[in-house]
Amino acid sequence: MAPLEQQWVKVQQKTFTKWLNSKLQVRNRQIVDLITDLSDGIELIHLLEILGQESLGRYASKPKLRVQKFENVNKSLDFIKSKGIQMTNIGAEDVVDGNSKIILGLIWTLILRFTISDINEEGLSAKEGLLLWCQRKTACYDEVNVRDFSTSWNDGLAFCALLDIHRPDLIDYDSLDKDDHRGNMQLAFDIATKEIGIPDLLDVEDVCDVAKPDERSLMTYIAYWFHAFSQMERVENAGRRVEKFVQNMQGAWQMQNDYEKRMRELLRQIAEQQKQWETAEFDGTYADAKAQSAEFTAYKRKNKRAWVAEKSDLTGLLGNIKTKLSTYRLRPYDPPAELSLEALDVAWAALVKAERDRSQIINETIRDIKNALRKNFADKANDFALALNTLSTSISGLEGDVEDQLEHTKRISESLQPLDEYLNIIASIDEQCEEANIEENDFTTYTYDELEYELGLVRSSVSKKLAFLENQMVARSMTNLTPIQLEEFESVFRHFDRDLTNSLQELEFSAALASLGLVYDEEEMHQKFRDTSEGKDYVTFEQFIRFMVDETEDQNTAEQVFESFKEVADGKPYVTELDLRHSLVPDEVIEDLLKEMPPHKGPDLEVDRDLPKFDYITYMQRFMGGEEMNGYVNGDL
């Protein structure tokens, strides 16, 4: 046998022996010499039962005779043929007699059938498919060029590349010394055996130290790599399918959980809202009813709109769940009956009805409160107006003794305080009506402003009546005054009592005296005010009358009045309207004088040329005797 031929036979025999032992180890069996250890057929039967996963039947377990060995080997060859495996020129005697080439061919046939034949890449043959797989896996490595199952593997880089592409965690390909062929090969073989579990069918020298490595040995070994990594890829693919399925299912489950959680929460909110409306109460005020109306409006703008959107989203979500499950041909999802779209429709219909009822009761309550406010205001306003009318009638109808009238008026005055309090109640109701935007009231013609004004009139009338009666009581005690004088003094006092306090301030007191013809210089006037008021800031009616009594006891004669006219006229024989007004004579008195006094017909002063002039001398002759007046005029003018 030539050296080269001896080399590949030796490599094949060693590789095939390792291959066969890797199969027999499941039965704890092992051969040492492939050629001699198969001669009795026993190990061959064990190998075929392992590969075929079935029993070959009875055989000679301890053959001693050549014929027994032949029977065992023929049983094995018959089994191989029954599997459709073509064998040429292989007989039992070749195995029994140890024909190495025939035996190697037989084992190679079994390797092809049970290890390599199932390799199929893109429909190619086993060999071509295995080569294509190696090329595709190492295509991205520039240093690797797999062309065959021989010299392409000498440098060990192809094996390292297969490890790196499948298990980069086991090898640092970039750090390899690309020129260290044996080191790279040994590293790849060690990792394949220890980490991947690939049988060590080849030795480093079987590939690196020969010019042309044995093709069958390499194919047998690389087929283990293919199966190991293909199995790994199948596991990974299966894992990815499981992962994808779980992810899809988790997505579907998450969608289902999300649907149920959101549906449950939506139904809870709807039920809670209905319960809140059912238990809601009104306190009878417009403010409370309006607040509840505003809250209802806010609900429709916020909660209701959010619920409408959520209802639509849930419908779409359930449709997406069903579509997703149908896409993956999974069992369809039907939510629990209480969380179904039908249950939501029922709850929604109930919500719409409750919403309509709520709107109706709010509107009815607001209308009832408005009508109640109208009636309440009208009842109190009408009662108040009746009370005012009764008081006015009582005041205007007072007759009899002054003391009785005064006592009755005081009682009327005391009754005004409760009316003030009652008017405050009406004011509060009026404010409530304004808050409720009530502009009309068919139950009364009165308004709060009118009642307030009329109460002011009644109060003024009572005040004036009290002042009048009290003044009358005072005036009646002044027996030395004539009724005309009393009337005059009282009229002047009331005229200058602008604030109806039944008293005169110092300026008012001075003006009142001047209107009565009593004119003093500033200092003297101030002293008379202080004396009359007894040191206070005002003069009462009684003090005023007493002062006038004292002052008029010597000023009641016509001569004294005539003298007053002279002072008003500043010594002229006539008086003008301007003179009278400068003397602070009341307007109504001036009007009466201008009607009664005749016009002056004599000469006048230049300063009064354009003013009407009145003859107060002729006017005073009505109240004085003729001779007395003539003598007084002739003597004094």
Q: Is 460 a member of any domain?
A: no
DSSP-assigned letters across all residues of 254-312? HHHHHHHHHHHHHHHHHHHHHHHHHH----S-HHHHHHHHHHHHHHHHTHHHHHHHHHH
Q: Is 286 a member of any domain?
A: no
Strand-pair category, 503-504 with 575-576: unpaired
Residues 208 and 86 in one domain: no
pLDDT score of 1: 46
Residues 230 and 163 in one domain: yes
Residues 508 and 623 in one domain: yes
Of 95, 116, 137, the residue that ends a domain is 116
What gap in Å lies between CA 120 and CA 166, rounded to an integer? 19
Q: Which has more confidence, 275 or 636?
A: 275
Q: Is 161 a member of any domain?
A: yes
Residues 551 and 487 in one domain: yes
Q: For the chain, first and last CA: distance in Å?
A: 192
Residues 135 and 239 in one domain: yes
| pLDDT reading at 554 higher than 60 | no
Q: Is 180 a member of any domain?
A: yes
CATH number, domain of 217, equals 1.10.418.10
Tell me the mean pLDDT in the region 469-488. Answer: 67
Of 203, 226, 246, the residue that ends a domain is 246
Binned at pLDDT 50, 70 and 90, residue 162 comes out as very high
Binned at pLDDT 50, 70 and 90, residue 553 comes out as low
Structural domain including 53 reads 3-116
Tokens of 511: 């003006």
Q: What is the pLDDT of residues 374-423, one digit of tens each?
A: 999 999 999 989 988 888 888 877 777 777 888 888 888 888 888 889 99
Indicate the DSSP class of residue 400: S
Binned at pLDDT 50, 70 and 90, residue 174 comes out as very high
Tell me the mean pLDDT in the region 15-30. Answer: 91
Contacts 24+ apart (CB under 8 A), 404-412: 405/465, 405/469, 406/466, 406/469, 406/470, 406/473, 409/462, 409/465, 409/466, 409/469, 410/466, 412/462
Residues 615 and 506 in one domain: yes
Residues 56 and 148 in one domain: no
Q: What is the pLDDT of residues 607-617, one digit of tens each?
A: 677 788 888 88
| Torsion sign (Cα): 320, 325, 327, 331 | negative
| Total of domains in the chain | 3
The alpha carbons of the chain give a radius of gyration, in whole angstroms, of: 68
Binned at pLDDT 50, 70 and 90, residue 476 comes out as low
Q: Above pLDDT 90, what percent of the chain?
A: 37
HSE on the CB side for 41, CA within 13 Å?
A: 28
pLDDT score of 475: 62
Binned at pLDDT 50, 70 and 90, residue 2 comes out as very low
Q: What is the mean pLDDT of the chain?
A: 86
CATH number, domain of 600, equals 1.10.238.10
CB environment 315-332: b (16+ within 10 A), e (fewer): eebbeebeebbeeeeeee
Residues 487 and 606 in one domain: yes
Q: Is 88 a member of any domain?
A: yes
Residues 533 and 496 in one domain: yes
Residues 12 and 138 in one domain: no
Q: Is 367 a member of any domain?
A: no
Q: Which has more confidence, 524 or 550?
A: 524
Binned at pLDDT 50, 70 and 90, residue 625 comes out as low
Binned at pLDDT 50, 70 and 90, residue 295 comes out as very high
Of 116, 148, 169, the residue that ends a domain is 116
What gap in Å lies between CA 573 and CA 615, rounded to an integer? 7
pLDDT score of 630: 59
Q: Is 445 a member of any domain?
A: no
pTM of the model: 0.47
Per the listing, tokens 């502009």 go with 439
What gap in Å lies between CA 185 and CA 481, rounded to an integer? 155
| Angle, in degrees to the nearest 10, between helices 215-279 and 126-138 | 60
Q: Strand, coil or helix: what is 619? A: helix
Residues 85 and 179 in one domain: no
Q: What is the pLDDT of residues 567-605, one digit of tens each?
A: 888 778 888 888 888 777 778 888 888 888 898 887 767
Q: Is 435 a member of any domain?
A: no
Indicate the DSSP class of residue 89: S
Residue type at 180 in one-letter notation: D
Residues 550 and 632 in one domain: yes
